[in-house]
Amino acid sequence: MPRIDTLDFIRGLAITGILLLNIVAFGQPHAAYLNPAWQGAASLPDALTWAVLDLLAQLKFLSLFALLFGAGLQMLLPRGKRWLQARLTWLVLLGLLHGIFFWEGDILFDYGLIGLVAWRMIRDVPSSRQLFNTGVLLFLVGTAVLLLLGLSSGHQANSAWQPGFAEVQYETLWKTQGGWQAVQNRLQLFSSGLLGLAAQYGWQLAGLMMIGGALMRSGWLRGSWGIQHYRRAAALLIPLAWIINIPAIYLQWATGWDYRWSAFFLQVPRELSAPLQAIGYAALCFGFWPTLAQFKITRAVSCVGRMALSNYLLQTLLCTLLFNVFGWFNTLSRLQLLAVVPLVWAINLLFSVLWLRYFRQGPVEWLWRRLTVLGGGKPSETASGGR
């Protein structure tokens, strides 16, 4: 199974783009991730930073990564049931360890668990159109659940949205001190995240994976369509996503990030626009690939994409070192945190380029593959080892 260079680049773009949002989760209290007014009021620089990232990055790169994950499941179907189940089960276990012992913002567990369900649907739905439509339906179900949660919630903000001084101090303590106390708190956050996955986010994630599988099956994510098609798709989908999302950004700011509106109802436009914008970003890459492929930075980002799992975990190691071990947690503003991102990107890029000069796979990708084989999956002789 030959690699698709454009997909490697898009995957690298997704991994680096995710850090634009994750850096807030690493460097500030949990409540700050979606609420720039978590301290009661947002400074103008922080509010502007939030608005720009909400428009360009929030959920967009996560959606892009989920689409690519589904596309990968479609590509791996020839390896058979035992390979896929072993591979995804090990991803679940890796995510569990990552989320409990290293960082509570883990997504690997969610992707592995939902992937164990989604790959069967990708396999069994007969046509690309049906697969795409089923994915859209599941995504909309998850979005509707978000509305229902908003209707059933109270008007009073909870500590997850507007924490008190003592709660912020305690979160700072367990994150910077580590130990068993940190594990206990991560376990608590993991259990609440599991409920959210079952009730709402899991529907959306499964839907995105199925959409990605459909786009791969149709050849769209293989770059099989014409360049002008991809350029037209980008020109349509990205502005459409902005038209949907911008009013919600304005209303969140105008309401002072009111809990019920901003935590639920005004999340819906962002949720709906994110897949459109993510597909638009992918279309941009395919549409301008002949030009992009000429740049050294493109090749470097593609290397990051080939080692996506290793680089995702490397971001955790670097950021927890800076914020938890070195004590930077809750010392930088949202805008200041962005200054850390290029440093982590540079390490991701350098590490990936140097590693792939000597090895075919990233270190964690190699381990994942070996564990998959030990878990009962037989590697295909013709399959690429990098996926």
Nearest to 361, CA basis, from 288, 283, 316, 308: 308
Domain that includes residue 18, residue range: 5-374
Please check whether residue 384 lies inside any domain of the structure: no
Q: Within 10 A of 23 (CB to CB), how many other CB atoms are there? A: 23
- Residue 212: the pLDDT is 98
**Which H or E run includes 383?**
none
Rg (CA), the chain: 20
CA distance 91 to 80: 17
- The DSSP result for 67-86, as a single string, is HHHHHHHHHHGGG-HHHHHH
Instruction: List own/partner pairs for 239-244 with CB under 8 A and 24 or more apart.
Output: 240/273, 240/276, 241/273, 241/274, 241/276, 241/277, 241/280, 242/55, 242/273, 242/277, 244/269, 244/272, 244/273, 244/276
d(CA 141, CA 321): 39
Return d(Cα 90, Cα 247) in angstroms, integer: 41
* pLDDT of the residue at 376: 66
Tell me whether residue 386 is in a domain: no
Helix (H, G, I), strand (E, B) or coil at 58: coil
Please tell me the predicted confidence (pLDDT) of residue 378.
64
pLDDT score, position 375: 72
Q: How many domains does the chain have?
A: 1
Half-sphere exposure (CA, 13 Å, Cβ side) for 262?
28
CA distance 238 to 247: 15
379 belongs to a structural domain: no
> Residue 385 falls within a domain, yes or no?
no
Helix, coil or strand: residue 39: coil
The residue assigned the tokens 């502005």 is 239
In the Cβ-directed half-sphere of 338, how many Cα atoms lie within 13 Å?
Answer: 12
Q: Is residue 303 part of a domain?
A: yes
User: Is 204 domain-assigned?
Assistant: yes
pLDDT digit string (tens) for the chain, length 387 residues:
678 999 999 999 999 999 999 999 999 999 999 999 999 889 999 999 999 999 999 999 999 999 999 999 999 999 999 999 999 999 999 999 999 999 999 999 999 999 999 999 999 998 999 999 999 999 999 999 999 998 888 777 777 898 999 999 999 999 999 999 999 999 999 999 999 999 999 999 999 999 999 999 999 999 999 999 999 999 999 999 999 999 999 999 999 999 989 999 999 999 999 999 999 999 999 999 999 999 999 999 999 999 999 999 999 999 999 999 999 999 999 999 999 999 999 999 999 999 999 999 999 999 999 999 987 656 554 343 333
Show the DSSP H helices in the chain as ranges.
5-27, 44-56, 60-76, 81-101, 108-124, 128-152, 165-177, 179-196, 202-217, 227-254, 259-260, 267-287, 289-292, 296-306, 308-320, 334-338, 341-356, 363-374
Q: 352 and 307 in contact (C-beta within 8 Å)?
A: yes
Confidence (pLDDT) at 385: 35
User: Which has the closest alpha carbon to 242: 67, 61, 65, 52?
Assistant: 52
Does residue 257 fall inside a structural domain? yes
Phi-psi map region of 40: left, alpha, beta (phi>0 left; psi -120 to 50 alpha) = left
Question: What pLDDT is stored for residue 159 in this prediction?
Answer: 79
User: In angstroms, rounded to a whole number, what is the distance separating the alpha carbons of residues 16 and 61?
Assistant: 9
